[in-house]
Amino acid sequence: MNLKDKLKRFVSQPQGSGETSTAPPSPDTAGAVWGGVAVTTPRGSYWLTETHYALDYRHGSTALGAFRRAAPDQLSFLAQEPRLAGTPLQDMVFVDTETTGLAMGTGTLPFLIGIGRVEEDQFVVRQYLMRDYPEEPAALGDVSQAIQGAAGLVSFNGKRFDWPLLKDRFMLNRIPVQTKHLVHLDLLYPSRRLWRFRFRSCSLGSLEAGILAFHRQDDVAGSEVPQRYFDYLKYQDPELLRDVLRHNLLDILSLAGLTAQLAQRSSLDAMDEPNPWDVAGLARLHWQVGQFEDSVRCSELGLTLECDADTRQRLLHTLGASYKKLQLQEAAAQVYIELTQGYPQDPHAFAELAKYYEHQAKDGDAALAAAAGGLAASRAVGQRRLEAAFLHRLQRLQAKRASGRSVLRFNQGQPEVCR
């Protein structure tokens, strides 16, 4: 049997979890719990729910339709996705799946697929539920049509999980779907760029609470979802999936709200009320992609805002590094002086200052002082590698001072022995 025949046999066989202890729920019973209706297609049947929201409906602090006003080119920069520029966000679909596990093998079923999109003056969420394994071809067939008609996808960690899984399931079920035209905006990555230092975790739940001001009540944990589905297959009790459907629905709404919030923070011009955390993340991103003048602009603005000590330290480091890239060595040195004064246990600031005094200012005594400060700082924070580097620098500078032939300027006197 060749691979094609094996796949055909695998897809055609029912893959349920075994005999059920009760009969499947009637459409009336399921509809009373889930809402929606059973849909019959040439590939079989599945369950479909539709939920409609006005575009000004607020999910936490954010209106669902707010993302439509975003400038795609600005969000493209934050997401580092060039194809997003020029793509109308209102033509994209928001996708989230609930699955039987986190593995990417053929045994993982996306039994519930939620798709949200703007339709005229509403935000519509459709949820495609497979009441058993044999309903997969029918559900995926309609999902493929919904996706193909969009300009792109919006997901959260979908590039690594949801979308590869869906593409595999399309292939296994021999459902043709055109994907080359789709732009994929995975919100996890721009969220990390802006907020990884603001929040301990950049999970969707953390961002819901911290950015959208939305707090879930009585929500089923994502880790419990697979077992809920297996229990449903066994007992055929629709109540077991009620919370799973709601969980998936809230995920879709949060994707829309988070897209709007990211767009509003994707540039200084887009920010109505800049805050230091967003500005610090944006400054770092500009530096990483080589836009050093923009990085300076963001960093200098961030330093005028009231912020915690860690964020200020991060802004100063980004500003100093940007000044260096722009060959503004003296300006960078002033930043590192401020860092060593405000953060005396920051060995990296002392290292930058020591390099400046030795190689640009040619001030041997100042270079020695900065190296000594860096040695003390690295010892205080337990950075053995940096401690060794500072010790080597001190010994080298002292040797230059003792030789009397260095281009560095030293005061007269015997050098101190560094241990």
User: pLDDT tens digit string along 31-53?
Assistant: 899 999 999 999 999 999 999 99
Is residue 131 a contact partner of residue 26, using CB atoms and an 8 Å limit? no
CATH topology of domain 3-263: Nucleotidyltransferase; domain 5 (3.30.420)
Q: What pLDDT, in 10s, does the model give residues 256-294?
A: 999 999 998 988 888 888 999 999 999 999 999 999 999
CB atoms under 10 Å from CB of 42, counted, come to 7
Q: What is the pLDDT of residue 104?
A: 67
Compute the average pLDDT of residues 372-394.
94
Q: Is 400's pLDDT higher than 60?
A: yes
Here the tokens at position 295 are: 């990085």
Predicted pLDDT of residue 206: 94
Euclidean distance between CA atoms 297 and 319, whole angstroms: 9
| Higher-scoring residue by pLDDT: 70, 257 | 257
Structure tokens at 212: 């959208």
What is the mean pLDDT of the segment spanning 196-216? 92
Of the two residues 254 and 407, the one the predictor is more confident about is 254
**Alpha carbon 337 to chain centroid, angstroms:** 34
What value does the mean pLDDT take over residues 61-70?
90
The answer to whether 75 touches 266, Cβ cutoff 8 Å, is yes
| DSSP β-bridge partners for residue 41 | 44
- For residue range 183-205, what is the model confidence (pLDDT) as tens digits? 999 999 999 999 988 888 899 99
CATH 3.30.420.10 residue window(s) in the chain: 3-263
Question: How far is it, in rounded angstroms, from Cα 253 to Cα 407?
Answer: 65
| Nearest CA-CA partner of 150 in 171, 173, 187, 179 | 179
Alpha carbon distance 210, 198 (integer Å): 9
Other CB atoms within 10 A of residue 351 CB: 21
Q: Report how far apart, in Å, the C-alpha atoms of 96 and of each of 19, 26, 335 are.
A: 29, 27, 45
pLDDT at 3: 52
Q: Is there a contact between 179 and 144 (Cβ–Cβ < 8 Å)?
A: no
First to last CA, the chain: 74
Average pLDDT over residues 305-327: 96
Exposure of 36 in the CB half-sphere (CA atoms within 13 A): 22
pLDDT above 90: residue 8: no
Assigned CATH topology for domain 278-403? 1.25.40
Prediction pTM value:
0.86
Query: What are the residue ranges of CATH 1.25.40.10 in the chain?
Result: 278-403
Quick one: pLDDT band at residue 310, thresholds 50, 70, 90?
very high
